[in-house]
């Protein structure tokens, strides 16, 4: 049986994931103002324009958090401010009239366009604005604005939720820094997103009420929506469509691996589509992969290191609380045992490929107590598909793609295919 040629060396230690840097936020104010739209007409927008005032502070300071430690469920991480602290924070929220706004952008929140409900707030459609001749005007660039009330974030911290906006922003900033250090040439966030196939930030802003995560807009929705489009009567993708999509997903995953990141929540809902490119999004469960023999400089500034060829140094990550949708979890994540950051993401990609091809989940829970999981992940994928599943759903799959699914979804991570092995599989070469 072919072994995973990317799995860490057996003598490597098991380590806790590295900590992300405290993400940096720009202070903003929410104003009512006139905006010139693309039709040339001027519209008055009431309390929906976010304007930066030039100040930048760490996330923990912006939210008044004592620390970024999420491991203590008894500590909600919020520090009650003294009167002097409150005054200082209030002053930081005030617009800086000396800061030149002419070359700055602002963001118009389209409050009637709710793209998604989020555990911490809502995601709205938005427009990027530029200031010209003392008036804000639209640029034609769309964006997505995740608005998260600080009160909700603090309440969710007390509930010890593992999808944390600070971690998502830290992971996005880490990835963006890595892209720049790797010689990335894209001059806009949207172009960077299309090149890397990973979501990147336009801005991370805050005011005294809300936290704002602003990203490029993906106009074509996500893969789950595409699969469940009422006009798509097949409710699954063809092998050619699935192959094209898988290649794009692997491009994004390779960028994450190069940046030393493990996503942990890859699923069709978290893969958006923009101009024909898939985009891996929702990085709130990302972990920074530990490596042995890292110098202190590399640990403190890992965005300067390309981790693509560092298999011999990559450590297993100590067992973490289960994260993500159960049907996409690898057995290691479900059992909360040590895992390889690359192998668990590749497992989730294998589940995505299965769902794209068949239009159904392979199982609900990654446990041997579920018969389909037990059989498929122990070498009987082809038997189960050909004798029971494919005839039931009137789906035909080639021998090659069934072989690929089996090799991506073995229970034992040391014999699952790596990203490069998947790319070299005969089905991918068709």
Q: How would you classify residue 261: left for phi > 0, otherwise alpha for psi between -120 and 50, otherwise beta?
A: beta
**Which residues fall within 8 angstroms of residue 132, CB to CB, at 6 or more apart?**
102
Strands 105-118 and 135-149 turn out to be: unpaired
Q: Which of 419, 389, 392, 416 is nearest to 405 (CA)?
A: 416
Alpha-carbon distance of 171 to 162, in angstroms, equals 14
Residue with the larger pLDDT of the pair 260 and 87: 260
For 28, 113, 141, the CA distances from 253, given in Å and listed in that order, are 33, 30, 26
Residue with the larger pLDDT of the pair 297 and 383: 383
For the domain with range 14-18+218-429, which CATH number is right: 1.10.510.10, 2.60.120.10, 3.40.50.970, 3.40.50.1820?
1.10.510.10
CB 211 within 8 A of CB 165: yes
What integer is the mean pLDDT of 249-269?
97
pLDDT in tens, 70-90: 444 333 333 333 333 333 443
With a cut of 60, say whether residue 322 has pLDDT above it. Answer: yes
To which H or E segment does residue 138 belong? Answer: strand 135-149
What integer is the mean pLDDT of 116-139?
93
Structure tokens at 148: 């998260």
What integer is the mean pLDDT of 306-334?
91
CB 77 within 8 A of CB 65: yes
Q: What pLDDT was estimated at residue 93? A: 42
| DSSP symbols for 8-68 | PPTTSPEEPPBPPPPPEEEEEEEEEEEEE-TTS-EEEEEEEEEEEEEEEEEHHHHHTBS--
Q: What letter does residue 245 receive in the DSSP assignment? A: H
CB 405 within 8 A of CB 398: no
Q: What pLDDT was estimated at residue 302? A: 54
Q: What pLDDT was estimated at residue 87? A: 34
- pLDDT category of residue 97 using cuts at 50, 70 and 90: very low
Q: Which of 198, 224, 219 is nearest to 356 (CA)?
A: 224
Q: What pLDDT was estimated at residue 229? A: 77
Q: In sequence order, what E strands does 244-342 have?
A: 261-262, 271-274, 277-280, 287-288, 316-317
Q: In sequence order, what E strands does 223-339 have?
A: 261-262, 271-274, 277-280, 287-288, 316-317
Q: Where are the domains of the chain?
A: 14-18+218-429, 25-165+201-216
Q: What pLDDT was estimated at residue 235? A: 83
CB 92 within 8 A of CB 27: yes
Q: Which of 333, 341, 354 is nearest to 404 (CA)?
A: 354
Q: What pLDDT was estimated at residue 297? A: 41
Beta bridge partners of 158: none
CB 238 within 8 A of CB 290: no
Q: What pLDDT was estimated at residue 303? A: 61
Q: What is the phi/psi pair of residue 415, to 5°?
A: -120, 5
Q: What pLDDT was estimated at residue 158? A: 79
Mean pLDDT of the chain: 87
**Of the ranges 23-27, 70-74, 129-133, which one carries the lowest mean pLDDT score?**
70-74
In 3-state terms, what secondary structure has residue 225?
Answer: helix
**Of the ranges 8-17, 121-130, 243-252, 269-278, which one carries the lowest mean pLDDT score?**
8-17
Q: What pLDDT was estimated at residue 70? A: 41
With a cut of 50, say whether residue 282 has pLDDT above it. Answer: yes
- pLDDT category of residue 161 using cuts at 50, 70 and 90: low
With a cut of 50, say whether residue 101 has pLDDT above it. Answer: no
Q: What pLDDT was estimated at residue 76? A: 36
Structure tokens at 329: 């979890």
Alpha-carbon distance of 373 to 262, in angstroms, equals 24
With a cut of 50, say whether residue 95 has pLDDT above it. Answer: no
Structure tokens at 222: 């996500």
- pLDDT category of residue 104 using cuts at 50, 70 and 90: confident
Beta bridge partners of 314: 291
Strands 14-15 and 316-317 turn out to be: parallel
Rounded to two decimals, the pTM is 0.90
Alpha-carbon distance of 401 to 350, in angstroms, equals 11
pLDDT in tens, 341-356: 999 999 999 999 999 9
- pLDDT category of residue 2 using cuts at 50, 70 and 90: confident
Alpha-carbon distance of 178 to 96, in angstroms, equals 31
CB 4 within 8 A of CB 422: no
């Amino acid at each position: 049986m072919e072994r995973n040629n990317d799995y860490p060396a057996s003598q490597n230690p098991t380590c806790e994931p590295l900590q992300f840097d405290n993400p940096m936020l720009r202070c903003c104010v929410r104003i009512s103002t006139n905006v010139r739209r693309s039709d040339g007409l001027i519209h008055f927008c009431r309390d929906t324009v976010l304007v930066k005032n030039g100040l930048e502070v760490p996330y923990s300071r912006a939210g008044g958090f004592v620390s970024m430690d999420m491991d203590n469920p008894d500590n909600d991480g919020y520090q009650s401010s003294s009167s002097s602290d409150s005054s200082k924070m209030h002053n930081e929220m005030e617009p800086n009239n000396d800061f030149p706004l002419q070359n700055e952008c602002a963001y118009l929140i389209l409050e009637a366009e709710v793209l998604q409900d989020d555990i911490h707030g809502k995601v709205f459609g938005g427009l990027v604005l530029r200031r010209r001749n003392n008036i804000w005007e639209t640029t034609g660039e769309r964006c997505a604005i995740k608005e998260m009330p600080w009160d909700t974030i603090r309440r969710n911290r007390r509930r010890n939720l593992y999808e944390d906006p600070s971690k998502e922003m830290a992971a996005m900033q880490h990835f963006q820094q890595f892209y720049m250090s790797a010689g990335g040439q894209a001059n806009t966030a949207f172009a960077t997103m299309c090149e890397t196939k990973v979501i990147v930030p336009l801005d991370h802003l805050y005011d005294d009420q809300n936290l704002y995560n602003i990203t490029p807009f993906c106009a074509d929705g996500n893969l789950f929506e595409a699969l469940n489009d009422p006009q798509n009567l097949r409710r699954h993708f063809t092998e050619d469509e699935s192959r094209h999509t898988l290649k794009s997903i692997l491009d994004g995953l390779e960028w994450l691996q190069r940046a030393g990141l493990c996503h942990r929540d890859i699923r069709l809902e978290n893969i958006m589509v923009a101009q024909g490119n898939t985009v891996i999004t929702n990085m709130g469960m990302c972990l920074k992969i530990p490596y042995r023999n890292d110098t202190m400089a590399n640990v403190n500034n890992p965005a300067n290191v390309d981790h693509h060829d560092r298999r011999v140094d990559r450590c297993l990550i100590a067992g973490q609380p289960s994260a993500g949708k159960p049907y996409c979890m690898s057995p290691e994540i479900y059992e909360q045992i040590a895992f390889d950051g690359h192998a668990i993401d590749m497992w989730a990609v294998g589940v995505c490929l299965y769902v794209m091809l068949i239009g159904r989940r392979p199982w609900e829970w990654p446990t041997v107590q579920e018969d389909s999981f037990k059989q498929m992940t122990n070498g009987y994928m082809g038997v189960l598909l050909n004798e029971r599943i494919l005839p039931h759903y009137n789906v035909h799959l080639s021998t090659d793609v069934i072989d690929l699914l089996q090799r991506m979804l073995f229970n034992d991570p040391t014999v699952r295919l790596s990203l490069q092995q998947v790319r070299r599989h005969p089905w991918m070469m068709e």
